[in-house]
Amino acid sequence: MILTSLEMQGFKSFPEKTVLTFDKGITAVVGPNGSGKSNLSDAMRWVLGEQSTKNLRGSKMEDVIFGGTEHRPAMGFAEVSMTIDNRGENRINSDFDEITVTRRYFRTGDSQYLINNKQVRLRDIAEMFMNTGIGREGYSIIGQGKIQNIVEGKPEERRELFDEAAGIVKY
């Protein structure tokens, strides 16, 4: 299972359709302060179903939609798609070799979740990623301060992490 691409449109500082493709090995994103590096990891969290606006560094869900600049009007919705190559090790339990999850959010408050262009529930996305370490509660995205939270966390909080790593959350 390999992350192959991330596509954003109208998400935070990415009004235009922006596609990042990830090759084998390590990908590093570099750029000046405020250029949108963390917005990329926010997009990954978001498409995986993140509901906490705090974790997305905003105060309301609408904050993920491009809010406009002096030269460009605000957008009406945000969309992010993440594509995973589901061959090889740690396969997601799915008939597909390539899986694309998509999340859309409109200023009206409506949201949509899709798996391979088919509309699904948030719960279906959560269940698909359960025990893979990738999901919203997974440990594949380690943000600033997260290591400290793990070390200083309550035993019950740490247990959630171990359960996920051991692949027994479902049970």
Interface residues with ligand ATP (CB under 6 A)?
Answer: 12-13, 31, 33-39, 63, 65-67
CB–CB of 1/91 below 8 Å? yes
- Give 67 or 133: the residue with its C-beta nearer to ligand ATP: 67
- Give 12 or 103: the residue with its C-beta nearer to ligand ATP: 12
Provide, rounded to whole angstroms, the least separation between the CB of residue 12 and ligand ATP. Answer: 4
* Long-range contact set of residues 90-93: C-beta below 8 Å, sequence gap at least 24: 90/1, 90/132, 91/1, 92/1, 92/128, 92/129, 92/132, 93/128
- Give 37 or 158: the residue with its C-beta nearer to ligand ATP: 37
Provide, rounded to whole angstroms, the least separation between the CB of residue 72 and ligand ATP. Answer: 9
HSE toward the beta carbon, residue 35, CA cutoff 13 A: 6
- Give 30 or 166: the residue with its C-beta nearer to ligand ATP: 30
Provide, rounded to whole angstroms, the least separation between the CB of residue 19 and ligand ATP. Answer: 17
Provide, rounded to whole angstroms, the least separation between the CB of residue 152 and ligand ATP. Answer: 23
Provide, rounded to whole angstroms, the least separation between the CB of residue 30 and ligand ATP. Answer: 9
CB–CB of 83/98 below 8 Å? yes
- Give 47 or 65: the residue with its C-beta nearer to ligand ATP: 65
130 token code pair? 């359960």
